Each structure stands twice: as structure tokens, then as C-alpha cells.
Amino acid sequence: MKIRFYSIIAIVAICNACTPHPQLSSVQEVTTFSINLNDRADDLFKVSVSVAGLGPENSYFQFAATAPGTYQTMDIGRFVRTFKAFDRNNNPVAVERISINRWELTHPEKIRRIEYQIAETWDTPVDSNRIYNMCGSSLENDHALINGQAVFGFFAGKQHDEIHVKLQYPQTWLAGTALMQNAGGAYIAKSYDHLVDSPIQLGRMSKASTTISKTKIDVYCYSKTDMVQADEVLLAMEKMLYAAEAFIGDLPVPHYTFLYHFEDASHGAWEHSYSSGYVYQEREFEKLKDSILKTAAHEFFHIITPLNIHSEVIENYNFSEPTVSKHLWLYEGTTEWAAQIMLLRGKLRTLDDYFKILRRKVAIDQMYYQKDYSLTDLAQNSFSEKGARQYGNIYMRGAVVAGLLDILLLDLSDGQRGLRDVLNELARDYGPSRPFPEDGLFQEITRRTYPQIADFFNNYVENANPLPLTEYYEKIGISYHEQADFVDAESGFGSKDGRFYIFNSAEELSHLNIRNGDFIVKIDGKTIRSTSMRRLKKKLQKADNGKTHKLQIERDGKMITIESADKKFIALLQKFVNNFRKLTIQGSFAFKLKPQASPRQLRLREKWLQN
């Protein structure tokens, strides 16, 4: 995923020698978490919490059930191994675990210190709801990753109070995070939400920095064998960052930090207001560069939404119980559209590249996701089992819908105003500390634009009506074809009128009466569609020698059935099934420039290609 996902890290990146941050409140009143990262032997974070002034309203200590942008149940209390409370004289104070994530404090007014041990999420097995690595915690000999919700909790009534974090770690390590430090070396978070929004990556890392406009950019890299270095990552991203600046205008953050972790497997990325975290399999950087660029473009754009455009549900996040905002289409779908279009407008992608990305998104939406499941349904059910299965479509249908909205706005304004302009207006008028009403965003955007926009939201965000791809792309002189003929010489198959045929296997399979041009109708009785291909793929992967398989083909309007255990025959079936997704995308959902576009279409297209 990112997932997906969402996603997320920094107002500033810092190490031990960071510029001090002004003290926000009295040290004696601030909840302070202390962790000794020099003790890493048993994969447990040993956490000590100093606190004063608790009262009846602070009667429990809460660990996160979830976190913004993850859209997954976390139940971090599962990872807590010990939990104790003490008074000012170091005497124990009674505590009781009352739920998976909550400890009741019997006499909160007596408590001056809490100590707990919590396991890292990366290497701790769980039966369900495994935490995404980029959103979790890791503790190893040469590095540590702290995502706030995976290590820290908060007292009832103090979610919005200032928090300090003190870390002890080897002198040879670097620390990268969004958090500033005070004169005493403690990291300062304005609230628990801010702490969760500001992961900390420490260890044997490399660092590179630059300045884009007035925004300080820091890149930290942990690479297991030092194969990837921060300076080459930053060099690869600089053009993207300038493209983002051109797309957004003045970047609305003073600092931004990229935290990269290169180790054994790729897991995705997670965005934050002032930073983002990435977990990739360690490989030669040239093999990672394109993926890093596309993902970083997406995560970086989150400085617009949700940082500067978000609803009251996000502003007052419920860590105790998963609570969703219906505007996932904005936070992730629009962000994905912006990431791709700003690379096109920044000349980092050709128009053909953009069409390939667009057709892939349309194809996956059409082939693999439930067609009557709206973007609002997807958001509101994202924590359910069914919603989780549909979640990935926010990056497909969500991005395509945002692109259609952009074209409609350009059309209605005669090229004077697109979605980028509306987003920048909203970011300017709302900003990090002013949320929009959860149920009022569609009306607000409609008020700022045109009455037709209300119908657009109703049809394609709140409901799942078929997308008007042909009609809208026609407005900018681009033709869209649901089905397109092609031949893929590499796989040996072609497509005509949405059906697939054998292209170059006749000679080696002529003894089975297979001819080039034969249309594939069924394999082992399964009609050719995406759901049956997934099942067939698993079945054919386990194909045993001597087992007979069946192929139904159409030739000159006649149906022919072939049954065989021939190895070459089975290899043909395997090749088709394994390439089905690629073939389907090639064979449909095609976007092309219209050679006879009208002057208005050409003018709108030119505006569409610019910021």
C-alpha cells in the first residue's frame, strides 16, 4: 500500500545538535516520556512517563486503537508487556487494565511516574491486524523507528496538552524527526496528535539537505548495507520538489523531512504534515528511483491536504475508537491525482506516460473493484472487512474522479480555473488550524465555483455512477476508447473488440488444433474475466504433470474445445493467465490526442497541461 496510506513526518528534521525550540509551558507541568534506546536487547521499548497534577478527569491511560491516515485497526495495547504506576515516594499506585488499549488509574492524583514496556511492532507476531511497517516501530542494533502511536499513549483529558520526549541513544546515531528540541534536548510536541504526526527515525543513517524556495528539505536514510545514500535520494527528488513548488506555489511549510528505511522488503509509505516515512527493499538505487519519485510526489502533496485542508473529524482525532471522515476522496484520491499531474506539468513525465498511468487506474477500477461502491462508501467503511477490500480503489477511481473534476472546472471557467486553483484557495482560507465542517465541504466548493459541481459530487463521489470519461476528455481534445485493439508480441496474445486471441503459438501447438487468431473463450470452464483469472492463476501454478486442462476457443464463429496435459499447452494457459491484467490494460481504456481537435479544445488542453 499508501498505502498506502497513508501516511507522514516533519516540521523539521533534527539531530542532537538541533536549534533549541522555545519552551511552550512549565517543565514541571508537562508530561515527559523518557526512553533509553541504548537498551535494545529484547525488542522492548522501556518507557518512563513523568507527570504531575493529575486529577479525577485523568482517570485512565490510553494507547491508540488507530492513527490518522492508516485506515486500519492497530490496538497498540496488544504490544504492552508491563504497566506500573508510582507516587512521589516511588511507592506503587494501583492500576487496572480495563480494555485492550486502556489502563484505569485508581488514584491519579497520587501518580508521579508511569513505567511500561512495549514491544516493537515489526518483529512481534500478532494473530490479526498486523501493523504496516511504515506506521509501526522497530528496535534493532543499528537503528530504531518510533511512530508515535506505536510507542506512546496519553492520559484521559490530556490528548491536546504539550508532551516532551527524552531519548538516550548511541552517540554515533543520527535522529530525524519533525519535532523541535528545547534547550535541555527534549523533543517538544504540542499535543499527542502532534507527537503521532511526527515519527522519529534514529540510527546509523546518512543525511542530505537542500532548500526549495524558503522550505528546508532534509532526507535521512537508513540502508541495511549502506547501498543507498541520502544524497542520491535527494538528487533524484529535487526536480519533483521544484515541480511541486510550481504546482502549489509557495510551499506552505517551513521544513520538510523525508525518512527512508531500506532493508529486507518494501511496505509502502505514510504521510505526515511535515514529513513522510518510507520502507523499501534495499536494492541498487537506480532500480528504486522511479518508484521513490512517484511515491514521494504523492506523500509530499499531503502538505496541502490533509495538513491545510481537513475536516473537524481529522482535527479532533479519536485515537480510542476508529472514526472516519467521508472525505478520503480528498485526502488520498485528490492527492494521487495531484502527484501525477504535477509531474506531467513539471515536464518529468510525457503525456504518453500520463496516459499509461491513467489507463491503468481506469482499468483497475473497472476490473478489480466493486462498481457500485462509491468513494464515500469506501471512506465510511474503510475499517470494515468489506471496505478494506475496496480501499485500494481510492488511488485508482479516486484519482480519476479528481482528474475529471479538474477538467470540468476548466471547462466551466473557460480555462481560467482548475482543481489546483480551488485547492490552493481552500488551503489559504482554512490552513492547519481551521478545519472545515465534515458535512459542509461539497457545499463550500460549490459556493466557490459553479452549481454543476454539486451534481458532480453527487454523481461520482457520493454515488458510483459510471464515469463520463469520453465526454469530459473530449472537452480537452483527448479521445477515450473503452476497448482498443492491440498485439503484444512479448506475451504472444492480441486483443480485438475486448476479446483476446492467440497471436504466435500456432506452430508449436498445431498438433492440438490451435491456430493463430483463435479467440480464447474459457479455461477449465471459467469465462475470461478478472475474478476467474485470479483463481485460475493459483490452480495452474500447481499444475501437475499428466493433469488434463481444457481450453475453449472460437474460430470463424465456431466453438472448439481442446483438452490436453501437454506441457506446452499448459504453459500457454499459464502465460495467458499470468499476463491477463497487463493484457487487459493494454487492450482497453485507451487515451489518445484527437488529431482534429477544435480551437477551444486545444486551448483548454493547453491550460490543462499548465499550472
pLDDT of the residue at 233: 97
Residue bearing the bigger pLDDT, 573 or 530 = 573
* Least confident segment among 179-188, 234-243, 320-329: 320-329
Please give the Cα distance from 288 to 292 (Å, whole number): 6
pLDDT of the residue at 419: 98
What CATH code would you report for 27-203?
Answer: 2.60.40.3650
> DSSP letters along 61-84, please?
EE--S--TTT-S---GGGGEEEEE
Number of Cβ within a 10 Å radius of residue 493: 25
List of residues 6+ apart from 350 with CB closer than 8 A: 344
Place of cell 512495549: 118
Domain spans in the chain, listed from the N-terminal domain onward: 27-203, 211-293, 328-474, 486-586
Grid coordinates belonging to 470: 469520453
pLDDT of the residue at 308: 93
pLDDT digits (tens, 9 = 90+) for 156-174: 999 999 999 999 999 999 9
> Pick from 308, 127, 339, 144: which is nearest to 222 by CA?
144
Grid coordinates belonging to 326: 467521508
pLDDT of the residue at 2: 40
Residue 26: is its pLDDT beyond 50?
Answer: no
Please state the pTM of the whole predicted model. Answer: 0.83
Which amino acid, 8? Answer: I
Q: Sorting pLDDT into bands at 50, 70 and 90, what band is 232? A: very high
Share of the chain above pLDDT 70, in %: 94
In this prediction, residues 472-486 reach a mean pLDDT of 90
Q: Sorting pLDDT into bands at 50, 70 and 90, what band is 12? A: very low
pLDDT digits (tens, 9 = 90+) for 429-471: 999 989 999 999 999 999 999 999 999 999 999 999 999 999 9
pLDDT digits (tens, 9 = 90+) for 123-143: 999 999 999 999 999 999 999
Grid coordinates belonging to 309: 485542508
pLDDT digits (tens, 9 = 90+) for 258-269: 999 999 999 999
Residue 483: is its pLDDT beyond 80?
Answer: no
Superfamily of domain 328-474: Neutral Protease Domain 2 (1.10.390.10)
Residue 111: is its pLDDT beyond 90?
Answer: yes
> What value does the mean pLDDT of the chain take?
91
Pairing of β 113-119 and β 44-50:
antiparallel
pLDDT of the residue at 543: 59
pLDDT of the residue at 366: 86
pLDDT of the residue at 545: 58
Domain 486-586 has CATH 2.30.42: yes
